[in-house]
Amino acid sequence: MTYDRRHHRLPISTRRAFALAFDLAVRRDPFQSLVVPLLLHAPWIGALALLPEDRTDRPVALLTAACLLGDFLVQLAVAAMLRLRARSVFNTPPGVRPAPAGECYAQGLRRVPWLFVTEALRNLSIIFGTFLFVVPAVFLGYRLSFATEAVVLNEPNTSEAFRRSFRLSEGRFERWVEMIVVSGALGLAAVFAGAALCVMAGRTNLNTVLWVAQLLTAAVTPIIQYAWTFFYLRLVEGDVESPGVEVEPAYAWAAGSSDPHGDSWRPAAGESEPLVLVESGTKPEQGGEGPAS
C-alpha cells in the first residue's frame, strides 16, 4: 500500500506515547536509555550534595554554579541523544533495537548549541508571560511545547523550531494538558519516592534528600522525553506544511533481522523513507512498515 499523508490521523494518544516510551526505555534499551544518562548525571548531582549547605560563601557559590551548569549541559546532550534514538525506532516493528548510541550522541552534540538557545528563549518567554498574567504563560508554554524536539530533529534554528511548534500545537491543547499531567506525575512520583527512601533510611539531611530525589528524577526523565518525542513525530507525520519526518542520519535494518512486510509499503513520490535502525556505513533499505498507530 502507499501511504498518503493527505489522510491525516489524530496524534498518538498520551497513553500510547508513554507505552512506547516505557517499551523503548525499559524493554528494548534500558542500558543506554536509563543507566548511562543516570551515570552521566550522578557526578554532578553528587558534587552538589557534598557541598556545604551554606551557599553564601563565594567559593561554594562558584562551585555550585559550576555543578549546575555541568549537569545542565549533560542534560542537553542526553536529551538530544534520546530524541534521536526515539526517532530511530519510530514506525518500525516492535523489538527493533534503536540506533547506536555513539551515532546519536555525535549528531546530538551538534544540536546542543541550538537546543540550549531554544530552551533558554522558550523559558524566558514563559517567564515573561507569567509577569503579564497566567494565561499568556500557559499559552506560550502550550504553543512552544514542541520547539526542543523540532530543533533537534527537524529545524536548523530556534525561529524555525518555534514556527513549527506553533503550527503543530494548534488544536492540541487537551492532548498537551494530558502530556503535561502525566509527565508531572512521573516527576513528582520520583521526588516523593526519593524523600520516602531517605526517611525510611533515617537520612533526613536536606542535601541527602535532594540528592536522592534528583537522581530518581534523572532516572525517569528519559521516559518522559521519549514520550514527547513519539508524540511530536506523530504530529509531524500529519503536518501538510512540513516535508515529513527527516531521515538523517540514514537508518537500515539490524544485522540478522529482516523486514517482515517485504515490499508491501512504499512512501508516496517525494516522501521520506520510513525510519529504521542505524547501522554504521549502510544505506537505508527500501522495505519498511507503514506509520505506527
C-alpha distances in angstroms, 5 versus 14, 21, 267, 268?
A: 22, 24, 9, 8
At residue 284, the pLDDT reads 37
> What's the confidence (pLDDT) of residue 273?
38
Q: What angle do CA 132, 186, 184 make, to 5 degrees?
A: 10
Which pLDDT belongs to residue 114?
95
Neighbours of 229 (CB within 10 A): 27
The predicted structure's pLDDT at residue 11: 63
Query: Are the C-beta atoms of residues 109 and 42 closer than 8 Å to each other?
Result: no
Q: What is the pTM of this model?
A: 0.78
The pLDDT of residue 260 is 41
Share of the chain residues as helix, strand and coil, in percent rounded to the nearest 5: 65, 0, 35
Give the H/E segment covering residue 267: strand 266-267
What pLDDT, on the 0 to 100 scale, is given for residue 240? 55
DSSP state letter for 29: -
- For residues 218 and 45, the answer to whether their CB atoms sit within 8 Å is yes
pLDDT of residue 228: 96
Per-residue pLDDT of the chain (293 residues; tens, 9 = 90+): 333 443 344 567 899 899 999 999 998 889 999 999 999 998 988 888 787 777 677 888 888 889 989 999 999 999 999 999 999 888 777 667 788 888 889 999 999 999 999 999 999 999 988 888 888 899 999 999 999 999 999 888 999 999 999 999 998 999 999 999 999 999 999 999 988 888 888 777 777 778 888 889 999 999 999 999 999 998 888 765 655 444 343 344 444 444 444 433 333 333 333 333 333 333 333 333 333 43
Q: What is the pLDDT of residue 197?
A: 86
Whole-number Å distance between alpha carbons of 44 and 67 = 5
